[in-house]
Amino acid sequence: MRRFIVGLLSLVGRFSRLVRRLSGKTEEDAAAERVVSGRSWDEFCDTLKAAGGALNFPGTPRDAFSQAEGYRYLSRLTRAGLMAFVEHADPKAPVLHRVADEITKLGADNPDNHYLTAAISGAFEYRISGRRNSVAYLSFGTQAGHYGQGGGMPPTGYIEAAEIDMDEDGCFELLLSCAQKERNWLPMTADTGTLIVRQTFLDRNIEVPAHLQIERINCPDDERHPSPLTPGALDEGLKSASTLVAGAALLFAKWARDFQRHSNRLPMFDPAVSNAAGGDPKIAYYHSHWSLVADEALLIEVTPPPCEYWNFQLNNYWMESLDYRYHDIHTNKHLAQYEADGSVRLVVAHEDPGLPNWIDTAGHMSGTMCFRWVRAESHPEPGTRVLKLDELSSLRR
């Protein structure tokens, strides 16, 4: 379904460009007409309306609670799309901003992550400067395109903090370009359109995120300022924002449906699919679905290999992380309590079972979940068992 919609939008775009060429109008002329006539806004609204179809995708839960979360999710995606593609869409003057945060969520957003993104272009060169501070893991990736174009987001460059030369205070500069640089270089290609920054905390309560800023370089100073808004920029921004809502909602609805084939288990997710959707190439993901009745618990057991970081989280059906501001819906390498033999046991349950590493379902009876290994020497599949709550008594120390 998503592939059909993307193909249809692409076909409409090609047809529209052909008509413009035959009529002698420029793209900016056509955009001005669309804005003045109201068509840009009408089509933005029409695409948002069509995006609601993702909530009826095969396999989606039809209860009122899940559907209410689904429509809230679409509203959050809309807000994120407008920020990314209308407010901060100019690659001549990029702005690092948060699309996914404690409120706006998508694609199994990591509760331990502080995500930043910026619009960039392979036609320009940039410099990121700042200080590392105390965040546990810091990585930078460039990607082709963005969700708002209806396609995937394959990587075009990647570097992490361990590969960046920094001074004794953790200060550094990182260059982004298509042409290779001698040091501290993040590659781009002609197709690059997005910068993704991942900062991963072991403990948000004590760690300080990196202080970062981005600027375009090798250009006159007056070209670093944002361009005045044009009808073409607004027209394209509204298209991209609405396509983000429709495309992301359909993509993750399909993933969630497929995860139900192995509900309450945690098999490895296909790395090629993950990378194409903007995943970190240094991370092994284990996406799945979970479902528990009131007196059940999901027991997850694994012995972590040597790794930089691991974590586990619960999401709702739409692949939004549950509200980690008020509920313990995840744990990680630093926060978890370990067994004497180095293994770890996590307990997903609707109420506190009186055991370490309780993962709170936050009022949900089902949803999706994700386990991650980051830079791990091996990638063991976590074992899972569904138990009755009274069966957990044997696990208490």
More confident residue, 246 or 222: 246
Question: What percent of the chain is predicted at pLDDT more than 90?
Answer: 82
For residues 92 and 97, what is the distance between their CA atoms, to the nearest angstrom? 15
- Predicted confidence at residue 296, as pLDDT, reads 98
The count of other CB atoms within 10 Å of the CB of residue 145 is: 17
Q: How far is CA 316 from CA 57, 143, 213, 252, 283, in A?
A: 15, 27, 33, 11, 22
Does the pLDDT value for residue 388 go beyond 70? yes
Closest CA to 335 of 200, 226, 190, 229: 200
Angle (nearest 5°) at CA 284 between 127 and 273: 80
- 227 pLDDT band, cuts 50/70/90, is confident
Range 127-137 average pLDDT: 95
Q: Give tens-digit pLDDT for 158-215.
A: 999 999 999 999 999 999 999 999 999 999 999 999 999 999 999 988 999 999 999 9
Quickly state the pLDDT bin for 24 (edges 50, 70, 90): low
pTM of the model: 0.87
CB of 224 closer than 8 Å to CB of 93: yes
pLDDT surpassing 70 at residue 308: yes
CA end-to-end distance (rounded Å), the chain: 50
Give pLDDT tens digits for 90-109. 999 999 999 899 999 999 99
Provide DSSP, 14-76: HHHHHHHHHHT--HHHHHHHHHHHTHHHHHHHHHHHHHGGGGGSTT---SHHHHHHHHHHHHH
Which amino acid appears at position 188 of this protein?
Answer: M
State how far the Cα of 74 lies from the Cα of 318, in Å rounded to an integer.
10
Beta strands in 183-250 (DSSP E): 185-187, 192-200, 211-217
Confidence class for position 2, pLDDT limits 50, 70, 90: very low
CA–CA gap between residue 276 and residue 79 (Å, rounded): 24
In this model, does residue 396 exceed pLDDT 80? no
Strand-by-strand arrangement of the 344-349 sheet:
358-360, 344-349, 296-302, 383-388
pLDDT at 86 over 60: yes
What distance in Å separates the CA atoms of residue 313 and residue 294, rounded to the nearest whole number? 19
Average of pLDDT values for 52-78? Answer: 97
